[in-house]
Amino acid sequence: MKNIILASITMAVFAITSQTAMANNDINVKKIFSKKCKKCHSLTKKKFGPAFKGMNTDPEVLVSAITDGRKSMPKFNKKLSSDEIAAMVSFIQSQQIANPCAK
């Protein structure tokens, strides 16, 4: 009986820690983009907001635009975690070097 209880506790702890690990490492940037950014932003073309390609690459500018918003850009401080915002920032930065031949 004691062993069974111990085993279930171990399983529960394992389940919790692996979930936390997923939350930290498995941020789905593409999903955030389609759910929360795509209606105003395209990766390559200007829509309501500027294309991700061609955006500022300064992380401070990007973080502040996403976190606190700017003009018609809504703020995401309550909608995205700081890890998710950081992931979006590196995603935007990665778009600047994604295809050096395309203008």
What are 29's two structure tokens? Answer: 């940037």
| Shortest Å distance, C-beta 80 to ligand HEC | 6
Question: Do the beta carbons of residue 67 and residue 59 sit within 8 Å?
Answer: no
Quote the distance between the C-alpha of residue 14 and its chain's center.
25
Buried b (16+ CB within 10 A) or exposed e, 39-48: eebbeeeeee
Which is closer to ligand HEC, CB of 78 or CB of 103? 78
Which is closer to ligand HEC, CB of 7 or CB of 83? 83
User: CA 96, CA 53: separation in Å to the nearest integer?
Assistant: 5
| Shortest Å distance, C-beta 61 to ligand HEC | 5
List residues binding ligand HEC (CB under 6 A). 32, 36-37, 39-41, 48-50, 55-56, 61-62, 65-66, 70-74, 76, 88, 92
Which is closer to ligand HEC, CB of 42 or CB of 99? 42
